[in-house]
Structure 1
Amino acid sequence: MFYNFQSGHITKAQPTYDMIILGASGFTGKHVIRETLKFLNIPSSPLKNFAIAGRNTSKLSQALQWASCPNPPPEIPILTADTTDPASLRHLASRTKIILNCVGPFRLYGEPVVEACVDSGCDYLDICGEPEFMERMEVKYHDKAVENGSLVVSACGFDSIPAELGWMFNSRQWMPPAIFSKVEAYISLESDKRIVGNLGTYESAVLSMAYCRN
């Protein structure tokens, strides 16, 4: 933060990074790095620089190498942060415009990241598909996020985006566009290789069912 003598207001200093990927060494984080690299060094892209962050710098380095293959990894800054260390999260949030949070289950590990972003006025985005977490964050941090100009956006993952697009497509097949009370969707997966999941997704699903109420 710094004081602007001309306007008489306290304003935020320019962030060091356009984006930080938190939890970048995990199953999802590695794929996020790989997709993000596609937007670097493209003149029309608003993404000019980014960093990756997590608990283990060695694993982060390995994730960057995996995401860059077959090319050599670019010089992307690797930062240390832990969801159990609020100071490290506030430090991240103060250095970037937005944090992409890949650390789940979000019910267990997401709130400290949201809080750090909201306190710093940094934007937050995740791939969460956990309704209880999203609703709790909105109730708890909405007013402060508005006050500090922080956008908190969840449900940007595979289990959410196709459902939203499918709902929009179907609603526009009616004249005028319909508002449905219920939509049922199905998905079919095909692969030449064995389809596997990961522990974080499994744990999120189990915890979501555990908190269901009839």
Structure 2
Amino acid sequence: MTTRAHGPARTHDVVVFGATGFVGRLVAAYLAEHAPEGTRIALAGRSERRLEEVRAGLPATARDWPLVVADAADPTSLRALAESTTAIASTVGPYLRYGLPLVEACADAGTHYADLTGEVLFVRQAIDAVDVRARETGARIVTACGYDSVPSDLGVHLLHERAVSDAAGGLLDTTLHAKSKGGLSGGTIDSSRAQLEAVATDRSLRKVIFDAYALSPDRAAEPDLGKERDASSVFVDAETGDWVGPFIMAGFNTRIVRRSNALRGHAYGRRFRYREVSAYGKGLRGRRRATVFTALSGLAFAGMANPRTRPIVDRLAPSPGEGPSEQARRTGWFSMKIRTTTETGRRYLATVAAQGDPGYAATAVMLGESALCLALDGAQLPPAAGVLTPSTAMGDALVERLRAQDFTMTVAEV
């Protein structure tokens, strides 16, 4: 059974902001096919004409959806948008450039918010700007509701729940091994570019990006576990025997998971260590793949970081708003295996996996279900408000929604 968090006073249940963008269109299409009958959904963006084109291409169930003209650069339009709905799903990035005004409007209006950011600097900015206000109004401002960082955050959430159920003690060393098949997002590249530009302007921001606890609600209260660094080289994982290397999303996902632990009063444990790596398989083939992919990723990042070579990378990389073909989105997949050891020595394995290109098809499901969860599942959600993570804002309610969409989300003792 679902309940509307704000009742009939709000005109809409969910608004997709940025519906004319590549991912925005995918989220709108997902909602048109999967939202419960009677859910009041609207599409929002800068151009009414382009919104009409998007709506015309959706299934018949969406033909009567209202269109809302709103601009990230127009606070008045954002305030009206936020006041009209229970929840907003925003795909308008890079969020560091365009995201804060909408977050502020949602916090003021008590409107729930979900986005797809993978930007540490933006999340830190949102926490500093609106966390207190959102807790006062009851708004759930939930960042990272796509491939960044739903699988990571909910996977560790499930490990914690199982450890509690088994009285196994807190989590200790926990490692996520990621495998996937998917395309590279122009929007993701633009987000990385926005952070690099911000750091070039203010060098002090480097400290935020490289701080393992950059998103903590209270940095001074974090345990001193020594240097917790993301993987930077290729090596054989001692537990699995796989060759592994740096995971491109680890620098963001790990901060989100650590924020979840802190927001729960360090319920995962005061000695909880967390890292993420890409897994490439065993033997010579695994070593070769790990070495090649790691080298190429390093060259791409170095090229973007250097102002002299950045224009070359820009010409080769997909542009914002571009994405893989429908066939590529359909044939993509991801699988994340998260292994942990608890304080009593028991070991568990969480698996989070799904079909569909992780950054597009699967992300459209994750953001769409997050928005529906925030708008409709009020009675089932954890009692929380402020700038939250997927697990602290939605927890088991989102887990069950994703399982209903054929996501694998399991925990087993090993």
TM-score (norm 2): 0.42
Distance, in Å, in 2 between the alignment partners of 1:136 and 1:73 is 35
Say which structure, 1 or 2, has more relative contact order (CA 8 Å, 6+ apart): 2
Distance 2:153 2:79 in 1: 32
Counterpart of 1:110 in structure 2 is 99
Contact 1:100 1:124 in 2 (8 A): yes
In 2, the alpha carbon distance for the partners of 1:180 and 1:67 equals 47
The match for 2:334 is none
1:25 aligns to what SS in structure 2?
coil
List gaps (5 residues or longer) in structure 2. 1-5, 200-205, 211-414
- Give the direction of change, closer, same or farther, for the CA distance of 1:67–1:175 in structure 2 (3 Å limit): farther
2: distance between equivalents of 1:112 and 1:12?
25
* Residue 94 (structure 1) aligns with: 83
CA 41–185 in structure 1, closer or farther in 2 if over 3 Å, else same: closer
Instruction: Give, in whole Å, the separation in 2 of the partners of 1:40 and 1:145.
Output: 26
Distance in 2 of aligned mates of 1:180 and 1:84: 44
CA-CA distance at 1:178 after TM superposition: 4.5
**Is residue 2:126 matched to residue 1:137?**
yes
Give the counterpart letter for 2:124 in structure 1.
E
1:26 is matched with 21
Match of 1:63 among 45, 54, 59: 54
1:76-91 residue pairs with structure 2 within 5 A? 76-91=65-80
Instruction: Give the partner amino acid of 1:33.
Output: A
The answer (yes or no) to whether the contact 1:20–1:100 under 8 Å persists in 2 is yes
Q: Which amino acid aligns with 1:92?
A: L
Code of the residue aligned with 1:90 in structure 2: it is: R
Q: Distance in 2 between matches of 1:181 and 1:150?
A: 33
Q: 2:192 aligned with 1:205, yes or no? A: yes
- More strand by proportion, 1 or 2? 2
Does residue 157 in structure 1 map to residue 146 in structure 2? yes
Q: Which runs of 5+ in 1 are unaligned?
A: 1-10, 190-194
Distance in 1 (CA, whole Å) between partners of 2:133 and 2:158 is: 34
Between the two proteins, what is the percent identity of the paired residues?
31
Deviation, 1:58, is 2.0
Q: Distance in 1 between matches of 2:178 and 2:35?
A: 35
Partner secondary structure for residue 188 of structure 1: strand
Partners of 1:67 and 1:178 in 2: CA distance: 47
Tell me how far apart the structure 2 counterparts of residues 97 and 51 of structure 1 sit (CA, whole Å). Answer: 11
Distance in 2, Cα, partners of 1:203 & 1:21: 20
When the two chains are superposed, the root-mean-square deviation of aligned CA atoms in Å is 2.7
Q: How much has 1:130 moved relative to structure 2?
A: 1.3
Shift in CA distance, 27/179, structure 1 to aligned 2, threshold 3 Å: same
Contact 1:65 1:72 (8 Å CA) reproduced: no
How far off its partner does 1:188 sit?
2.3
AA partner of residue 112 (structure 2) = D
Mapped partners of 2:73, 2:98: distance in 1: 8
CA contact (8 A) 2:97 2:194 kept: no
Question: Which one-letter code corresponds to 1:14 in the other structure?
Answer: A
Per-residue deviation, 1:126: 1.0
Inter-CA distance 181–104: structure 2 relative to 1 (3 Å threshold): farther
- Give CA deviations for 1:3-40 in whole Å, capped at 9, x if unaligned: xxxxxxxx998111111111011111011101111244
Matched, 1:186 2:173: no
Query: Does the 8 Å CA contact 1:81/1:89 hold for their aligned counterparts?
Result: yes
Deviations 1:104-138 (A, max 9, x none): 11111110000111112211111112122112211
Secondary structure, counterpart of 1:187 in structure 2: strand
Conserved? CA contact 2:107–2:133, under 8 Å: yes
What residue is the counterpart of 1:192 in the other structure? none
SS in 1 for 2:12: coil
**Amino acid of the structure 1 residue aligned with 2:56:** Q
The answer on whether the counterparts of 2:32 and 2:61 sit within 8 Å (CA) in structure 1 is: no
User: Aligned partners of 1:170, 1:121: CA distance in 2, in Å?
Assistant: 31
Note the C-alpha offset of 1:186: 1.9
Query: Which structure is higher in helix share?
Result: 2
Choose from 112, 117, 127 the match for 2:116. 127
